[in-house]
């Protein structure tokens, strides 16, 4: 199954990369840009046909390796 994990930095956590990109865009003439947040998308291909079991497995992966639970939130999308 195909699994997508969308990882977002929590709103209260600073995003220095996003601030740098926003500043660069304004300097390049894109003055309407008020802010930028840089997030991540992780694509996994996992063997199995039980979507619930795979989602549970990916939650475990996120908690242990793929995300930082102090700084980030995530959403899992399993495609059958």
Residues shown for the chain: 80
The tens digit of pLDDT for each residue in 46-72 reads 999 999 999 999 999 999 999 999 999
* DSSP reduced 3-state for 25: helix
Range of the domain at 28: 2-79
Strands 72-79 and 40-45: unpaired
> Number of folded domains in the chain?
1
CATH code, 28: 3.30.1280.10
Q: What is the DSSP string of 13-32?
A: S--HHHHHHHHHHHHTT-TT
Which residue, chain included where needed, has tokens 């199995």? 48
pLDDT tens readout for residues 11-46: 999 999 999 999 999 999 999 999 999 999 999 999
């Amino acid at each position: 199954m195909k699994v997508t994990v969308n990882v977002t930095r929590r709103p209260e956590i600073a995003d220095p990369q996003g601030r740098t990109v926003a500043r660069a865009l304004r300097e390049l003439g894109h003055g309407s840009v008020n802010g930028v947040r840089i997030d991540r998308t992780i694509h996994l291909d996992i063997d199995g046909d039980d979507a619930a079991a795979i989602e549970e497995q990916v939650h475990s992966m996120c908690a242990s390796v793929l995300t930082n639970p102090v700084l980030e939130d995530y959403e899992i999308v399993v495609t059958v």
